[in-house]
Structure 1
Amino acid sequence: MVKIYIYIYLHKDWLNTMSKLYLYLIFSVLVSKSKAKDLYMECGPRNACGCEKFDNISVRMDCEARHVRLSETCDSIRNISGEVTELFIGGNNLGNFGMNEFHGCEGVTILGLQFNQITRMEENVFKKLKNLTVLDLSRNNLRIYEHGFKTTFIPQTVQILRMKGNFYGKNDNNDLPTYPSFSRLKRLQELHIDGINGVNFGLSYADMNLTQVDISGLVKYSYCNVTEITNTTFQHLSSVKSLNLSGCSVRNIFAGAFINLLQLQTLDLSFNRQLGFTPLSNVSYGLQFTNIKVLNYSHVYTTFGTGTKLYKKDICYLRNTTLKEMVLDNNRIELIETNAAILAPRSLETGYIRQNKFTFGPYILQMGCLEGVKTLYLECPDFQFSPLAYSLEPEDLHENTRSSTSNCPYMAENELQKIAEKNKDCLYYDPKIPVRLQYPRIPPSLQSFYFHDCAMTYKTISIDYKVFPKNNNLSYLDVSGNIFDAMTGHMNNLPELRYIGLSRNYCKAIGLTTLNWEQLENLQLDINFLGTALANSDRANIFDNLPNLKILNLSSNGITTLLSRTFHRLQKLRHLDLSFNNIENFDLNIKPLKNLLMIDLQVNSVHTLKGNIIQQLEQNSKRLNTSFAVDLRNNSISYGCDNLHFLQWLATHEHNFVGFNSYWFVADNSSILSSDDFKRDIEHLPKRCKTYVVLIVICSISVAVFLSIVIGGVIYKNRWKLRYLLFMSKRRYFGYRRLDDETIIENYKYDAFISYAEENIRFIRDRIIPELEGRGLSLCIHQRDFLAGNDVTDNIINAIKSSKKTITILSNGFFRSKWCIYEFNMARMETIYSREDRGCLVIVMLEKIPAARMSAEMLEWIKINSYIEYTTDEEGEALFWEKLRIGIEN
């Protein structure tokens, strides 16, 4: 059976993200069973313990609180593959034991015997453990603080010794407790022991090479009650480099308490809640003579109370130390005395001043005095302390009216002014002159600045905020968790800025030139309200001035719409986080984003990815020789034929999709498919999506063409009929109609309408008009009788309708005139549809015409109906005129 222990630390920033829809915590463990057995296995008596192999040979054996005995545990080691070098057998109520019970444990180098009710130790009890380097005897009943307690049972090979939790007040003889002597342990480097009030580390420690002493009372079941540290408490620990005095109820420290600790590098005085800042001047005085690097002076005030002030005298002597890191967390600091920052040691590189109560003061303008500081933590408390803790904390012994005077020579005004003059970025304020506000100066060496969750409320609107010095080195800036609801101004002079955190700032608007840091690589804008601004075309280009940006986080911004050009200038962008929004149509132009490899779209409403997006991701991956990743968890991905291309691409790139096994798909019938359903069905989807669209389109086009031809043919064949019917309809409903005269049978204006070609005009004038009108007939000649201004077609139809007969003079020129053809066909239609009983069309063949020149309609008409042929013969001509007269009058 494989056991996996996972320890999760949830930072407070993570808790703030609970406003998101979901909180994902994904662990992926890819270990085969055979390999897992090699790493972790059940072992020990009755397989009650657990063994873990490391370095391929060494084994760590965990038998804590497993109800096993020491002898049987050591005896079982021979059955374990590998050499057991670490044995943890605490919490088994072992009691006292002898040397022989370690038979089989000879190879152990680290031994944990804590919490086992041990009251005494035989002198040679660990004789068989010749390589023992770490021994843990904490939380037992050993009388190690009695006079005469012998430590000869501890092997001289031990380098780390833990003996906390063995103090039970006064001994049986009512003698004052004392620290045991470990002088024979020449290799001992770390000592973890209880802190006894008023007890000094005696002369026996002077010859030891201890580098780390821990008397902290913060460890569970440990004990430390050192209320006062005198000049003799640690005077013999000259080799100590790390001294932990946290949680020891310290109230007072003498000025010479640490003078003899010449090698001291780390001093922890945290969680001494009645210590306050008053003894800090004594601490700093003693640290002048050490090699101090780290000072933890946090939590030296109770949680509840009014704000405190840090004076110059408190840190005056720190100016003369080698301090590199200082921690002042949770000390209720509200103000720092003006010019106090000048006394900061030049060696200081990292400062922790978190969870205090800072208010504005001139000290903020003097940050430039911290000339060596590279990292500064100024986070504020973003939570309320539980009132139940009030009664559990010690009484607050400090007064806010404590004196600010001191004999420290460095805090004299002339000295402060001299120190400030050596640093051009350090401002000195003369107490006799009113403070003149200036642009704040940051430490010139500052690289990282953390100032998140301080509820600082500002609107940076249309203002240039200058940061000095101009050539600063600030590369990491975190101002998340404040209230910058509108940022439209500039923050200039940040040439090295690579990271900026603007998360959780209630930001609704960002100016087009606000984000103007050319070297910026990581921009965190999650959990804001930028959705409306990004949907505005006037605000869509706020990222255009970030040519080197690689990571952009816009998670949880209420984004519904993104314009295609929003990110087109971010050519070096690699990671785009748009998770926890409400994006439905993800249609960005990512073609310019040649380095984009990760798109986080989890918890949106995305149905598909466009072809240009997946194509660009593939191209980027190939060019950069690395894989791309997309996160589409908790999106309603469409599963249907319309999305077939993307679904097939998704199936072939499953390994590129984060958390693919938790994906779900929405089919066309609204049913939900899991990732497993998707894998089983995707192969069959293309078959169901086969369509006959092309065939249907071709058939439809063919039918349309066929019908067009048929209809066109019918229309062409009946074109004259349609023209005639159209005109008659028009005339019937819109034209003028004469009232019929019931007293006469025929009501025609003309006896005949003469239809002829223009080239036969002489024949009409010289022969037709004189002969027919001389016989008393009325003729309609278009050149003479058509109404000017009327449409030609209207004149023709009116002439046909107003004439008893239409005389068509056929000649070769007749067929060259479209109007002659029109007149013939309209007269033909008139005969067929209006005068079929007596006809109105009379054809005169003026000259011989080849049949090939005639239309099918004319040939058919001549074939069925008689016509009159003109001749110039004298007798024939007389007969022609007689036939023509009779044809008109009948």
Structure 2
Amino acid sequence: MTVTLRDVYRITMANSRLPIISTLHFVQIFMLILGRRIQHPLEDEVKGNYSNSFLSHVPKHLSSKTTVLDLSLNSINELQTEDFKPLPKLRVLKLSHNRIQHLDISVFKFNQNLEYLDLSHNKLWKISCSHENALMNLTYLDLSFNEFEALPICEEFANMSQLDFLGLSATGIQKPDLLPLQHLHLSNILLDLERFCEKKDKLESLPVLSTKALQIIFPTDESCSVQLNMSVNNLRSLELSNINLDDGDKCLIFIYFLSKLINNVKFLNLTLYHLKTTWKCFVETLQFLWHKPVEYLYIYNITLVGEIDEEQFKYYETSLKELKIKLFTIKIYIFSQTDLYSIFSDMNIKMLTISDTRFLHMLCPSQPSPFQYLDFTNNLLTESLFQDCGNLILLETLILQKNKFKYLSKIAHMTEKMKSLKHLDLSENFISHDEKKTNCNWTESLSILNLSSNELSDSVFRCLPPNITLLDLHRNKIRSIPKDISNLETLQELNIAFNSLADLPGCSTFSSLSVLVISHNSVSHPSAHFFNSCKNIKSLQAGDNPFQCNCQLREFSKNMAILSNKVASGWPHSYKCAFPDSYKGTQLKNFHLSPLSCNLVLLIITIVIIGLVVIIVTTFLCIYFDLPWYLRMIFRWTQTRPRTMNIPIDILERKFQFHAFISYSELDSAWVKHELVPNLEAEDIKICLHERNFVPGKSIIENIINCIEKSYKSIFILSPNFIQSEWCHYELYFAHHKLFHEGCDNLILILLEPIPQHSIPNKYHKLKALMAQRTYLEWPMEKRKQVLFWANIRAAFNMKLVLVKEENDN
């Protein structure tokens, strides 16, 4: 389905009950709607955007498929046929804010598809028309804000049957200028008369136009007045800007102008911008419109001059539904407040807005009022407003935003007689509540209350309407929500963002709560039971809080992840860890802790189980693999090896003939000769044995001493047999004597068989002392242990030792 610009524009004008905005705003909205269509173009649509590109002429070599061309905000001063001839499919052309002075319609004779042409804000003073069919398909033509002396309307305009919007500007208007438009049915006409300064004694009757919306911009020069005698058929919206009514004559002329303009109107939306008037003229104009078919009257930026006196006003028989006055500046300093406020307070309309006026007060209506909507935003109103006022029985919505209210209990009393009030907006005031004042008598009908951006603390929850369903408390000073509140069972939506709450509130107090906004607070450890108590929650916005990512947050994060698509608003991008620093900035969805680290009972059970397993495994290793023996042997090796490697050079240079002297009992000789000696000599360790190295003819004692002196180490094979050998005792005595007097670490004790301490005779006290003080090597019977045993023996010897040749003692 193809949507034309005409269709888009008609849709925007369809609802005449909406307020008509200023000329520029209207054009902007229309362009926005057009822009949306351009953003979703047909498949063959090609756009060329050269806006604000410092162009002085239309660019060449544009694509012949171009349908939308934006040349606004440049310095183009001339248009030629050759500029647009290569663009047969062009539909939208924007040339606003350039320097074009002359327009010849024939330059577009090759652009039969052109629907939208904007030439506003140029320097046009002349327009030339042709008899060709150029611009016949236009739906939007804007020639406003130019320098035309007469209205730039050609006879050919009468053939533009598709035209919806027409913007014009001129310094004067004559009847023939408007004749081509008389038979066109437009949706909007914009008349830019800012440079209009024509003075005539007799007003010329202008042709009757047909349009749904008419916008007229009068001169800003107060010395120039515009007098028009014109009528419009089908008019639904009228917007007038720059109206100067600072004396009685101008007031009468304006009222006459309005009477002619809206004579045939059935329903009208009227908007007045930049109105300067006296109080008397304002009341007279308002009185005139009160009895006309005006449904919505909007006045923006009104300046009141002169004097304010009591004026009579008749309120009966009005079609007006809403009056909106915004930015009301009073340049009068001494006047009766009653004369001013009484005009507004007794109006018999449904909706009244008086905002940005600096009003200090508003009177209670003198009789039951039909007001259903009152908006007094950005004034200076206080608690004296509507106190003991019983005539606002139909009021449903009261907007008191940006005023000077301070005491919540007095505000509650103000609403007590408003039996129909449903919505109250008190945001951006200075409201606080004294907890000692528990007297908060709200009207029972109030269900929506906005108390945001005030100075309320926790006590506000003790002064709330009994049937409240929607409560906005964001940007206050609330630190906690009392748990003993009993009158908020109907609350469904609560906005408490930008406060100082440390936890999510449970729903024991808010049994009907379905929407909670608690972002930007101080919630670091949200309660995990929140989701259990708040079964009816449908939307939760708790992001942008300083979450502390620990075990307490784990369950909350898990619940949020489960409900992310249904409940969690802003999940996961606004839910981030603030503490500890190692997790700072991490999204909660990416924060994970193991169940073991967060469950103390499970952690204790796990530690106990692991401890038992370690004990069992250790016991098994000790029993099956004799682990203590291995540990002793490894410890012995680690002690012996460094000592051996770090022997002083003077010891190594002594004249040793043997690496080791072996002392043993004859009963253990088999193990020495078949195990010990072969393994040591296989490592090039030279052994001194008494049966082969004792010198014949010398005494045994002398041979023992001589062998110990010539040997680097003395190895003693300890066993019960060793204890029974007297000679072994002598050998041990002399070796021990060498250890004591020379400080040499020359003893190696090998325990061949276990020797109970009690079996060692007392006379062998040196043996007892050595076994108690020194580490000895145990000979293992298992083959797998013997490798470590031989490694410990080898570690005791320094193989750098140079032996001298054995001397002949004979």
The TM tier, using the shorter chain, reads 0.5 to 0.7
Contact 1:231/1:254, CA 8 A, preserved across alignment: no
2:489 is the alignment partner of 1:545: no
Q: Report the CA distance shift for 1:519/1:106 in structure 2 as closer, same or farther (over 3 A).
A: farther
Aligned to 2:481: 562
2:637 is the alignment partner of 1:665: no
Q: Deviations over 1:679-708 (max 9, x none)?
A: 4441x3433234347958999xxxxxxxxx
Q: Report the CA distance shift for 1:650/1:157 in structure 2 as closer, same or farther (over 3 A).
A: closer
Measure, in 2, the Cα distance between the counterparts of 1:367 and 1:382.
Answer: 15
Shift of 1:526: 0.9
Alignment match of 1:64 (pick from 45, 51, 69): 51
Contact 1:637/1:664, CA 8 A, preserved across alignment: yes
Contact 1:483/1:505, CA 8 A, preserved across alignment: yes
Q: Report the CA distance shift for 1:141/1:259 in structure 2 as closer, same or farther (over 3 A).
A: closer
2:473 is the alignment partner of 1:497: no
2:157 is the alignment partner of 1:181: no
Measure, in 2, the Cα distance between the counterparts of 1:73 and 1:234.
Answer: 50
1:846-861 counterparts in 2 under 5 A? none
2:454 is the alignment partner of 1:481: no
Q: Deviations over 1:334-378 (max 9, x none)?
A: 88754544258601112122222577215534546533x332110
Aligned to 2:40: 53
Aligned to 1:244: 215
Q: Which amino acid aligns with 1:87?
A: L
Contact 2:287/2:313, CA 8 A, preserved across alignment: no
Aligned to 2:301: 330
Alignment match of 1:466 (pick from 389, 394, 399): 389
Shift of 1:272: 3.9
Measure, in 2, the Cα distance between the counterparts of 1:606 and 1:382.
Answer: 39
3-state SS of 1:161 partner: strand
2:616 is the alignment partner of 1:629: no
Contact 2:228/2:257, CA 8 A, preserved across alignment: yes
Contact 1:574/1:597, CA 8 A, preserved across alignment: yes
Q: Deviations over 1:617-663 (max 9, x none)?
A: 4x215xxxxx4222231x32222234443243345445514264244
Contact 1:324/1:348, CA 8 A, preserved across alignment: yes
Shift of 1:450: 0.9
Aligned to 1:591: 508
Alignment match of 2:166 (pick from 181, 191, 204): 191
Alignment match of 1:204 (pick from 166, 179, 196): 179
Aligned to 2:284: 313
Q: Report the CA distance shift for 1:599/1:57 in structure 2 as closer, same or farther (over 3 A).
A: farther
2:347 is the alignment partner of 1:370: yes
Measure, in 2, the Cα distance between the counterparts of 1:464 and 1:71.
Answer: 69
Alpha-carbon RMSD: 4.3
Q: Report the CA distance shift for 1:678/1:242 in structure 2 as closer, same or farther (over 3 A).
A: closer
User: Of the two structures, which has the highest relative contact order with CA contacts closer than 8 Å and spacing of 6 or more?
Assistant: 2
2:600 is the alignment partner of 1:676: no
Contact 2:492/2:514, CA 8 A, preserved across alignment: yes
Q: Deviations over 1:817-868 (max 9, x none)?
A: xxxxxxxxxxxxxxxxxxxxxxxxxxxxxxxxxxxxxxxxxxxxxxxxxxxx
Aligned to 2:140: 160
Shift of 1:439: 4.5
Q: Which amino acid aligns with 1:181?
A: C
Measure, in 2, the Cα distance between the counterparts of 1:280 and 1:666.
Answer: 65
3-state SS of 2:573 partner: helix
3-state SS of 1:573 partner: coil
2:500 is the alignment partner of 1:578: no
3-state SS of 1:328 partner: strand
2:426 is the alignment partner of 1:509: no
Q: Which amino acid aligns with 1:591?
A: S
Aligned to 1:257: 228
Aligned to 1:136: 118
Measure, in 1, the Cα distance between the counterparts of 2:503 and 2:588.
Answer: 22
Contact 2:572/2:587, CA 8 A, preserved across alignment: no
Structure 1: 5+ residue stretches without partners: 1-38, 42-49, 78-83, 169-175, 218-222, 384-436, 535-539, 622-626, 700-890
Shift of 1:90: 3.2
Aligned to 2:269: 294
Aligned to 1:75: 63
3-state SS of 2:430 partner: coil
How high is the sequence identity, in percent, across the aligned residues? 17
Shift of 1:323: 1.3
Contact 1:663/1:674, CA 8 A, preserved across alignment: no
Measure, in 2, the Cα distance between the counterparts of 1:104 and 1:442.
Answer: 71
Alignment match of 2:325 (pick from 340, 353, 356): 353
1:517-536 counterparts in 2 under 5 A? 517-531=443-457, 533-534=459-460
Measure, in 1, the Cα distance between the counterparts of 2:597 and 2:142.
Answer: 72
Measure, in 2, the Cα distance between the counterparts of 1:314 and 1:274.
Answer: 10
Q: Report the CA distance shift for 1:697/1:244 in structure 2 as closer, same or farther (over 3 A).
A: closer
Q: Which stretch of the first structure deviates more once superposed, 636-645 or 194-203?
A: 194-203
Contact 1:247/1:272, CA 8 A, preserved across alignment: yes
Measure, in 1, the Cα distance between the counterparts of 2:289 and 2:79.
Answer: 51
Contact 1:210/1:239, CA 8 A, preserved across alignment: yes
Q: Report the CA distance shift for 1:342/1:154 in structure 2 as closer, same or farther (over 3 A).
A: farther
Contact 2:227/2:253, CA 8 A, preserved across alignment: yes
Q: Which amino acid aligns with 2:350?
A: K
Q: Report the CA distance shift for 1:94/1:674 in structure 2 as closer, same or farther (over 3 A).
A: same
Contact 2:449/2:471, CA 8 A, preserved across alignment: yes
Measure, in 2, the Cα distance between the counterparts of 1:116 and 1:613.
Answer: 62
Q: Report the CA distance shift for 1:53/1:687 in structure 2 as closer, same or farther (over 3 A).
A: same
Contact 2:198/2:225, CA 8 A, preserved across alignment: no
Q: Deviations over 1:542-579 (max 9, x none)?
A: 22512xx332111122112320244x543443321112
1:830-849 counterparts in 2 under 5 A? none
Measure, in 2, the Cα distance between the counterparts of 1:254 and 1:268.
Answer: 17
Measure, in 2, the Cα distance between the counterparts of 1:363 and 1:87.
Answer: 53
Shift of 1:379: 0.7
Shift of 1:248: 2.0
3-state SS of 1:279 partner: helix
Q: Which amino acid aligns with 1:214?
A: L
Structure 2: 5+ residue stretches without partners: 1-33, 331-335, 609-810
Q: Which amino acid aligns with 2:399?
A: D
Q: Which amino acid aligns with 2:341?
A: I
Q: Report the CA distance shift for 1:160/1:51 in structure 2 as closer, same or farther (over 3 A).
A: closer
Q: TM-score, normalised by structure 1?
A: 0.54
Contact 1:318/1:345, CA 8 A, preserved across alignment: no
Q: Deviations over 1:114-168 (max 9, x none)?
A: 34544545554322322323222234454327xx876867522223211134317
Q: Report the CA distance shift for 1:697/1:661 in structure 2 as closer, same or farther (over 3 A).
A: closer
Contact 2:447/2:465, CA 8 A, preserved across alignment: no
3-state SS of 1:364 partner: helix
Q: Which amino acid aligns with 2:507?
A: I
Alignment match of 2:192 (pick from 211, 216, 238): 216
Q: Deviations over 1:250-281 (max 9, x none)?
A: 65899983453354443333234576776344
Q: Deviations over 1:156-208 (max 9, x none)?
A: 2223211134317xxxxxxx756443453342343212231476663534634
Measure, in 2, the Cα distance between the counterparts of 1:181 and 1:602.
Answer: 62
Shift of 1:110: 2.6
Shift of 1:74: 4.3
Contact 2:243/2:276, CA 8 A, preserved across alignment: yes
Q: Report the CA distance shift for 1:256/1:163 in structure 2 as closer, same or farther (over 3 A).
A: closer
1:733-752 counterparts in 2 under 5 A? none
Shift of 1:322: 0.9
